[in-house]
Amino acid sequence: MLIEDVLTEFKRTHLEHIEDIIITDGFEGGKAVIEYFRGLLLTLKGTSSEAMSVSVKWDGAPAVVCGTNPDNGRFFVGTKSVFNPGTPKINYTKRDIAKNHGTEELGQKLLKCLVHLKKLNIQGVVQGDLLYTDEDITRKNIGGKPHLTFTPNQITYAVPEGSDLSKQIDAAKVGIIFHTTYVGDKLADMNAQGGADVSSFSKNSAVFFDNAVYKDVSGSAKFTSEETEYFLQQIEKLESLLTAVPRNLVDLFGANKDFVPTFQIYINAMVKQGQLPDNADKFVAGFKKFYTDRIQQQISGLKAQKALQLRQDKIKQMPQFLSKLKKPLNASLTFYKQVQQMKSFVLKKMNQAMAIGSFAQTDNGLEVTEPEGFVAVDKSGNAVKLVDRLGFSRRNLTAVSKFKKAK
Protein backbone atom coordinates (compact mmCIF):
# COMPACT_ATOMS: atom_id res chain seq x y z
CA MET A 1 0.00 0.00 0.00
CA LEU A 2 1.29 3.48 -0.88
CA ILE A 3 2.07 6.06 1.84
CA GLU A 4 -0.71 8.23 0.38
CA ASP A 5 -3.25 5.40 0.84
CA VAL A 6 -2.26 4.65 4.43
CA LEU A 7 -2.37 8.27 5.51
CA THR A 8 -5.64 8.91 3.68
CA GLU A 9 -7.30 5.99 5.51
CA PHE A 10 -6.00 7.25 8.86
CA LYS A 11 -8.27 10.02 10.20
CA ARG A 12 -7.79 12.06 13.38
CA THR A 13 -8.99 15.45 14.51
CA HIS A 14 -6.49 16.16 17.31
CA LEU A 15 -2.78 16.95 17.09
CA GLU A 16 -1.00 14.20 19.03
CA HIS A 17 2.62 13.45 19.84
CA ILE A 18 3.74 10.90 17.25
CA GLU A 19 4.62 8.32 19.92
CA ASP A 20 1.17 8.55 21.57
CA ILE A 21 -0.70 7.47 18.44
CA ILE A 22 -0.16 3.75 19.05
CA ILE A 23 -2.08 4.19 22.33
CA THR A 24 -4.81 6.52 21.07
CA ASP A 25 -5.35 5.00 17.61
CA GLY A 26 -4.10 1.44 17.96
CA PHE A 27 -2.85 -0.73 15.09
CA GLU A 28 -4.02 1.65 12.33
CA GLY A 29 -2.29 4.49 14.15
CA GLY A 30 0.88 2.38 14.26
CA LYS A 31 0.75 1.92 10.48
CA ALA A 32 0.34 5.66 10.03
CA VAL A 33 3.34 6.34 12.30
CA ILE A 34 5.50 4.15 10.08
CA GLU A 35 4.38 6.08 7.00
CA TYR A 36 5.04 9.40 8.71
CA PHE A 37 8.60 8.22 9.29
CA ARG A 38 8.87 7.16 5.63
CA GLY A 39 7.80 10.68 4.66
CA LEU A 40 10.30 12.23 7.06
CA LEU A 41 13.01 10.04 5.56
CA LEU A 42 12.22 11.44 2.10
CA THR A 43 12.31 14.99 3.50
CA LEU A 44 15.67 14.45 5.19
CA LYS A 45 17.11 12.79 2.09
CA GLY A 46 16.25 15.97 0.21
CA THR A 47 13.51 14.24 -1.79
CA SER A 48 10.13 15.96 -1.70
CA SER A 49 7.12 13.93 -0.64
CA GLU A 50 3.73 14.90 -2.04
CA ALA A 51 2.12 12.71 0.62
CA MET A 52 3.41 14.78 3.52
CA SER A 53 4.67 18.23 4.45
CA VAL A 54 6.69 19.27 7.48
CA SER A 55 6.40 22.56 9.32
CA VAL A 56 8.26 24.13 12.22
CA LYS A 57 6.51 24.67 15.56
CA TRP A 58 7.52 28.18 16.62
CA ASP A 59 7.12 29.06 20.29
CA GLY A 60 5.26 32.26 19.55
CA ALA A 61 2.51 33.97 21.52
CA PRO A 62 -0.18 35.06 21.27
CA ALA A 63 -1.80 33.27 18.36
CA VAL A 64 -3.06 35.94 15.95
CA VAL A 65 -5.92 35.45 13.47
CA CYS A 66 -6.09 38.09 10.75
CA GLY A 67 -7.10 38.82 7.19
CA THR A 68 -10.10 39.94 5.19
CA ASN A 69 -13.48 39.10 6.70
CA PRO A 70 -15.51 37.44 3.90
CA ASP A 71 -18.69 38.78 5.50
CA ASN A 72 -17.87 42.45 4.82
CA GLY A 73 -14.50 42.68 3.04
CA ARG A 74 -12.84 44.48 5.99
CA PHE A 75 -9.40 43.74 7.41
CA PHE A 76 -9.39 42.50 11.00
CA VAL A 77 -7.11 41.02 13.67
CA GLY A 78 -7.81 39.04 16.79
CA THR A 79 -7.03 35.92 18.75
CA LYS A 80 -8.84 32.61 18.30
CA SER A 81 -11.75 34.37 20.00
CA VAL A 82 -12.76 35.73 16.57
CA PHE A 83 -14.50 32.36 16.27
CA ASN A 84 -16.30 32.52 19.63
CA PRO A 85 -19.86 31.29 19.05
CA GLY A 86 -22.36 34.04 19.77
CA THR A 87 -19.82 36.66 20.87
CA PRO A 88 -16.90 36.72 18.41
CA LYS A 89 -14.18 39.24 19.23
CA ILE A 90 -13.34 40.68 15.81
CA ASN A 91 -11.23 43.82 15.78
CA TYR A 92 -11.37 46.35 12.95
CA THR A 93 -10.32 49.40 14.97
CA LYS A 94 -8.32 50.53 17.98
CA ARG A 95 -11.61 50.94 19.85
CA ASP A 96 -12.58 47.31 19.11
CA ILE A 97 -9.28 46.07 20.55
CA ALA A 98 -9.65 48.14 23.71
CA LYS A 99 -13.19 46.84 24.18
CA ASN A 100 -12.40 43.18 23.47
CA HIS A 101 -8.89 42.80 24.89
CA GLY A 102 -8.13 45.83 27.05
CA THR A 103 -5.24 48.24 26.78
CA GLU A 104 -2.55 46.17 28.51
CA GLU A 105 0.09 44.03 26.78
CA LEU A 106 -2.23 41.81 24.73
CA GLY A 107 -4.23 44.81 23.55
CA GLN A 108 -1.07 46.73 22.65
CA LYS A 109 0.33 43.84 20.61
CA LEU A 110 -2.94 43.35 18.74
CA LEU A 111 -3.00 47.08 18.00
CA LYS A 112 0.43 46.87 16.36
CA CYS A 113 -0.77 43.84 14.41
CA LEU A 114 -3.83 45.80 13.25
CA VAL A 115 -1.69 48.69 12.02
CA HIS A 116 1.09 46.72 10.35
CA LEU A 117 -0.36 43.37 9.20
CA LYS A 118 -2.86 45.35 7.13
CA LYS A 119 0.10 46.35 4.92
CA LEU A 120 0.44 42.73 3.75
CA ASN A 121 -2.88 42.89 1.87
CA ILE A 122 -3.97 39.46 3.07
CA GLN A 123 -7.01 38.47 1.01
CA GLY A 124 -8.01 35.37 2.97
CA VAL A 125 -7.93 34.54 6.69
CA VAL A 126 -4.80 33.11 8.30
CA GLN A 127 -3.42 32.39 11.73
CA GLY A 128 0.12 32.88 12.95
CA ASP A 129 2.22 32.90 16.09
CA LEU A 130 3.47 36.36 17.04
CA LEU A 131 7.23 36.30 17.56
CA TYR A 132 7.73 39.89 18.65
CA THR A 133 6.77 43.50 18.38
CA ASP A 134 9.60 46.02 18.14
CA GLU A 135 9.81 46.75 21.87
CA ASP A 136 10.56 43.06 22.53
CA ILE A 137 13.88 43.10 20.63
CA THR A 138 16.93 43.11 22.90
CA ARG A 139 20.65 42.87 22.25
CA LYS A 140 22.71 40.29 24.09
CA ASN A 141 26.17 38.81 23.82
CA ILE A 142 25.97 35.07 23.26
CA GLY A 143 29.20 33.15 22.97
CA GLY A 144 31.04 36.46 22.89
CA LYS A 145 29.11 37.70 19.84
CA PRO A 146 26.29 40.30 19.70
CA HIS A 147 22.82 38.94 18.89
CA LEU A 148 19.31 40.27 18.48
CA THR A 149 17.00 38.30 20.77
CA PHE A 150 13.28 38.01 21.48
CA THR A 151 11.32 35.75 23.85
CA PRO A 152 7.66 35.39 22.84
CA ASN A 153 6.95 32.50 25.25
CA GLN A 154 9.37 29.99 26.79
CA ILE A 155 12.12 29.96 24.15
CA THR A 156 14.48 32.87 23.49
CA TYR A 157 15.31 33.22 19.81
CA ALA A 158 18.63 34.78 18.77
CA VAL A 159 20.10 35.97 15.47
CA PRO A 160 23.71 37.14 15.02
CA GLU A 161 23.72 40.92 14.71
CA GLY A 162 24.84 42.25 11.35
CA SER A 163 23.41 39.37 9.32
CA ASP A 164 20.81 40.04 6.62
CA LEU A 165 18.23 38.23 8.73
CA SER A 166 18.96 40.38 11.80
CA LYS A 167 18.58 43.54 9.71
CA GLN A 168 15.13 42.42 8.54
CA ILE A 169 14.08 41.57 12.09
CA ASP A 170 15.46 44.81 13.52
CA ALA A 171 13.66 46.95 10.93
CA ALA A 172 10.27 45.35 11.50
CA LYS A 173 7.63 46.54 13.94
CA VAL A 174 6.03 43.07 14.03
CA GLY A 175 7.40 39.55 13.54
CA ILE A 176 5.01 36.66 12.87
CA ILE A 177 5.02 33.13 11.47
CA PHE A 178 1.83 32.08 9.65
CA HIS A 179 0.93 28.40 9.88
CA THR A 180 -2.84 27.98 9.36
CA THR A 181 -5.32 29.00 6.67
CA TYR A 182 -9.07 29.27 7.21
CA VAL A 183 -11.46 28.42 4.39
CA GLY A 184 -15.18 29.08 4.02
CA ASP A 185 -17.69 31.65 2.79
CA LYS A 186 -18.54 33.02 6.25
CA LEU A 187 -16.08 33.78 9.03
CA ALA A 188 -18.12 31.95 11.67
CA ASP A 189 -18.24 28.79 9.55
CA MET A 190 -14.61 28.70 8.46
CA ASN A 191 -12.53 25.54 8.85
CA ALA A 192 -8.83 25.47 9.63
CA GLN A 193 -6.31 23.91 7.26
CA GLY A 194 -2.67 23.36 8.12
CA GLY A 195 -0.23 25.54 6.21
CA ALA A 196 -0.22 29.08 4.90
CA ASP A 197 0.79 30.26 1.43
CA VAL A 198 2.34 33.69 2.01
CA SER A 199 3.66 34.13 -1.54
CA SER A 200 0.85 36.54 -2.45
CA PHE A 201 1.31 38.72 0.65
CA SER A 202 2.75 42.16 -0.03
CA LYS A 203 6.30 42.67 1.23
CA ASN A 204 6.72 45.46 3.77
CA SER A 205 9.75 46.24 5.94
CA ALA A 206 7.45 46.87 8.91
CA VAL A 207 6.55 43.17 9.07
CA PHE A 208 8.93 40.24 9.32
CA PHE A 209 6.88 37.24 8.24
CA ASP A 210 7.15 33.77 6.81
CA ASN A 211 5.21 30.54 6.79
CA ALA A 212 6.19 27.63 9.00
CA VAL A 213 7.32 25.27 6.24
CA TYR A 214 10.48 23.39 7.18
CA LYS A 215 13.48 24.68 5.24
CA ASP A 216 17.04 23.39 5.42
CA VAL A 217 18.59 26.85 5.26
CA SER A 218 21.93 25.58 6.55
CA GLY A 219 22.21 22.79 3.99
CA SER A 220 23.49 20.56 6.81
CA ALA A 221 20.29 18.79 7.83
CA LYS A 222 20.16 16.12 5.15
CA PHE A 223 20.72 12.47 6.00
CA THR A 224 24.01 10.99 4.89
CA SER A 225 23.94 7.63 3.12
CA GLU A 226 24.89 5.97 6.42
CA GLU A 227 22.10 7.78 8.30
CA THR A 228 19.62 6.86 5.58
CA GLU A 229 20.55 3.19 5.85
CA TYR A 230 20.34 3.31 9.67
CA PHE A 231 16.91 4.98 9.58
CA LEU A 232 15.60 2.45 7.07
CA GLN A 233 16.66 -0.30 9.49
CA GLN A 234 14.79 1.47 12.30
CA ILE A 235 11.65 1.66 10.15
CA GLU A 236 11.93 -2.07 9.46
CA LYS A 237 12.30 -2.69 13.19
CA LEU A 238 9.19 -0.61 13.85
CA GLU A 239 7.27 -2.65 11.25
CA SER A 240 8.35 -5.83 13.01
CA LEU A 241 7.27 -4.50 16.41
CA LEU A 242 3.85 -3.59 15.01
CA THR A 243 3.16 -7.23 14.14
CA ALA A 244 2.94 -7.93 17.89
CA VAL A 245 0.26 -5.26 18.36
CA PRO A 246 -3.33 -6.60 18.14
CA ARG A 247 -5.39 -5.21 15.28
CA ASN A 248 -8.25 -4.59 17.72
CA LEU A 249 -6.08 -2.64 20.18
CA VAL A 250 -8.44 0.35 20.16
CA ASP A 251 -11.30 -1.89 21.31
CA LEU A 252 -9.12 -3.60 23.93
CA PHE A 253 -7.98 -0.31 25.44
CA GLY A 254 -11.48 1.14 25.07
CA ALA A 255 -12.93 -1.55 27.35
CA ASN A 256 -11.87 0.70 30.22
CA LYS A 257 -12.87 4.26 29.33
CA ASP A 258 -10.43 5.74 31.84
CA PHE A 259 -7.30 4.11 30.44
CA VAL A 260 -6.33 6.17 27.37
CA PRO A 261 -7.20 9.62 28.84
CA THR A 262 -5.35 8.79 32.07
CA PHE A 263 -2.40 7.39 30.10
CA GLN A 264 -1.89 10.79 28.47
CA ILE A 265 -2.27 12.63 31.78
CA TYR A 266 0.25 10.24 33.35
CA ILE A 267 2.75 10.80 30.53
CA ASN A 268 2.54 14.56 31.10
CA ALA A 269 3.05 14.00 34.83
CA MET A 270 6.16 11.94 34.04
CA VAL A 271 7.44 14.65 31.68
CA LYS A 272 7.12 17.25 34.44
CA GLN A 273 9.42 15.02 36.52
CA GLY A 274 11.88 14.68 33.65
CA GLN A 275 10.94 11.06 32.86
CA LEU A 276 9.55 9.05 29.96
CA PRO A 277 8.46 5.39 29.69
CA ASP A 278 11.49 3.13 29.28
CA ASN A 279 10.30 -0.11 30.90
CA ALA A 280 6.83 -1.64 30.52
CA ASP A 281 6.61 -3.23 33.98
CA LYS A 282 7.86 -0.08 35.68
CA PHE A 283 5.44 2.03 33.66
CA VAL A 284 2.43 -0.15 34.55
CA ALA A 285 3.32 -0.09 38.26
CA GLY A 286 3.63 3.70 38.17
CA PHE A 287 0.40 4.05 36.22
CA LYS A 288 -1.54 1.94 38.75
CA LYS A 289 -0.38 4.14 41.61
CA PHE A 290 -1.04 7.34 39.66
CA TYR A 291 -4.55 6.21 38.75
CA THR A 292 -5.36 5.08 42.29
CA ASP A 293 -4.14 8.36 43.76
CA ARG A 294 -6.26 10.37 41.28
CA ILE A 295 -9.42 8.42 42.13
CA GLN A 296 -8.68 8.62 45.85
CA GLN A 297 -8.51 12.41 45.53
CA GLN A 298 -11.95 12.36 43.93
CA ILE A 299 -13.29 10.12 46.72
CA SER A 300 -12.07 12.48 49.43
CA GLY A 301 -14.55 15.11 48.32
CA LEU A 302 -17.57 12.83 47.88
CA LYS A 303 -20.41 12.01 50.26
CA ALA A 304 -22.98 10.25 48.08
CA GLN A 305 -22.68 6.48 48.56
CA LYS A 306 -23.37 5.68 44.92
CA ALA A 307 -20.57 7.97 43.71
CA LEU A 308 -18.19 6.59 46.35
CA GLN A 309 -18.91 3.00 45.34
CA LEU A 310 -18.42 3.81 41.64
CA ARG A 311 -14.92 5.14 42.25
CA GLN A 312 -13.98 2.35 44.63
CA ASP A 313 -14.99 -0.10 41.91
CA LYS A 314 -12.79 1.79 39.44
CA ILE A 315 -9.78 1.35 41.72
CA LYS A 316 -10.38 -2.42 41.80
CA GLN A 317 -11.07 -2.72 38.08
CA MET A 318 -7.99 -0.96 36.70
CA PRO A 319 -5.37 -3.49 37.94
CA GLN A 320 -7.54 -6.33 36.60
CA PHE A 321 -7.84 -4.55 33.27
CA LEU A 322 -4.08 -4.00 33.02
CA SER A 323 -3.35 -7.61 34.01
CA LYS A 324 -5.61 -8.99 31.25
CA LEU A 325 -3.93 -6.74 28.69
CA LYS A 326 -0.34 -7.37 29.76
CA LYS A 327 0.79 -8.78 26.41
CA PRO A 328 -0.77 -6.16 24.08
CA LEU A 329 0.20 -3.39 26.50
CA ASN A 330 3.83 -4.55 26.54
CA ALA A 331 3.80 -4.72 22.73
CA SER A 332 2.37 -1.20 22.51
CA LEU A 333 4.89 0.24 24.96
CA THR A 334 7.78 -1.43 23.12
CA PHE A 335 6.53 0.16 19.89
CA TYR A 336 6.09 3.45 21.78
CA LYS A 337 9.71 3.42 22.98
CA GLN A 338 11.04 2.70 19.48
CA VAL A 339 9.05 5.66 18.11
CA GLN A 340 10.55 7.89 20.81
CA GLN A 341 14.07 6.88 19.82
CA MET A 342 13.40 7.43 16.11
CA LYS A 343 11.79 10.79 16.82
CA SER A 344 14.87 11.90 18.79
CA PHE A 345 17.10 10.92 15.86
CA VAL A 346 14.96 12.95 13.45
CA LEU A 347 14.76 15.98 15.75
CA LYS A 348 18.53 16.07 16.22
CA LYS A 349 18.97 16.27 12.46
CA MET A 350 16.15 18.70 11.71
CA ASN A 351 17.23 21.12 14.43
CA GLN A 352 20.43 21.74 12.48
CA ALA A 353 18.42 23.47 9.76
CA MET A 354 17.21 26.39 11.88
CA ALA A 355 18.53 29.82 10.89
CA ILE A 356 17.41 31.39 14.17
CA GLY A 357 19.06 30.02 17.29
CA SER A 358 16.96 28.98 20.28
CA PHE A 359 17.87 29.29 23.94
CA ALA A 360 16.31 28.65 27.34
CA GLN A 361 16.59 31.09 30.20
CA THR A 362 18.14 29.38 33.25
CA ASP A 363 19.54 30.50 36.58
CA ASN A 364 22.93 30.58 34.87
CA GLY A 365 21.75 32.69 31.94
CA LEU A 366 20.87 31.61 28.41
CA GLU A 367 21.59 28.01 27.47
CA VAL A 368 21.30 26.47 24.02
CA THR A 369 18.10 24.47 23.62
CA GLU A 370 16.20 22.82 20.82
CA PRO A 371 13.31 24.53 18.99
CA GLU A 372 9.75 23.74 20.05
CA GLY A 373 9.50 20.98 17.46
CA PHE A 374 7.93 20.12 14.13
CA VAL A 375 4.56 19.08 12.69
CA ALA A 376 4.14 16.49 9.94
CA VAL A 377 0.93 16.86 7.94
CA ASP A 378 -0.38 14.35 5.40
CA LYS A 379 -2.35 15.31 2.30
CA SER A 380 -5.66 14.62 4.10
CA GLY A 381 -4.81 17.14 6.82
CA ASN A 382 -3.93 14.62 9.53
CA ALA A 383 -1.04 15.92 11.59
CA VAL A 384 1.32 14.71 14.29
CA LYS A 385 3.82 16.68 16.31
CA LEU A 386 7.44 15.83 16.92
CA VAL A 387 8.54 17.54 20.12
CA ASP A 388 11.35 16.95 22.59
CA ARG A 389 9.11 16.19 25.56
CA LEU A 390 11.90 16.33 28.13
CA GLY A 391 13.05 19.64 26.69
CA PHE A 392 10.38 22.00 25.40
CA SER A 393 7.32 20.07 26.64
CA ARG A 394 8.69 19.89 30.16
CA ARG A 395 9.39 23.64 30.23
CA ASN A 396 5.97 24.36 28.77
CA LEU A 397 4.13 22.13 31.25
CA THR A 398 5.89 23.69 34.23
CA ALA A 399 5.54 27.32 33.13
CA VAL A 400 2.59 29.57 32.42
CA SER A 401 2.53 31.58 29.20
CA LYS A 402 1.30 35.13 29.67
CA PHE A 403 -0.82 34.71 26.53
CA LYS A 404 -1.83 31.07 27.12
CA LYS A 405 -5.44 32.00 27.71
CA ALA A 406 -5.62 35.01 25.43
CA LYS A 407 -9.26 35.63 24.54
Q: 189-211: per-residue pLDDT in tens?
A: 999 988 899 999 999 999 999 99
Supply the range of the domain harboring residue 84.
63-211
Of 69, 148, 159, 77, nearest to 116 by C-alpha is 77
Residues 40 and 163 occupy one common structural domain: no
- Note whether 357 and 158 are within 8 A (CB): yes
pLDDT at 50 over 80: no
Q: What is the pLDDT of residue 134?
A: 97
Would the pLDDT of 10 be above 50? no
Give the number of domains in the chain. Answer: 2
Look at residue 375 in the predicted model and tell me its pLDDT.
86
> What pTM was estimated for this model as a whole?
0.77
Query: Considering the domain boundaries, does residue 407 fall inside one?
Result: no
The predicted pLDDT at position 353 comes to: 74
Q: Which of 109-118, 295-304, 357-366 has the highest mean pLDDT?
A: 109-118
406: in domain: no
Mean pLDDT, residues 185-190 taken together: 96
Would you say residue 394 has pLDDT above 70? Answer: no
Note whether 197 and 55 are within 8 A (CB).
no
Regarding predicted confidence, which is higher, 174 or 364?
Answer: 174
The tens digit of pLDDT for each residue in 216-269 reads 655 567 889 999 999 999 999 999 999 999 999 999 999 999 999 999 999 989
Percent of the chain, pLDDT > 70? Answer: 88
Domain stops at, among 158, 189, 211: 211
Q: What is the pLDDT of residue 4?
A: 38
Residue 405 lies in a domain: no
Q: Are residues 138 and 168 in the same domain?
A: yes
Task: Please tell me the predicted confidence (pLDDT) of residue 219.
Answer: 59
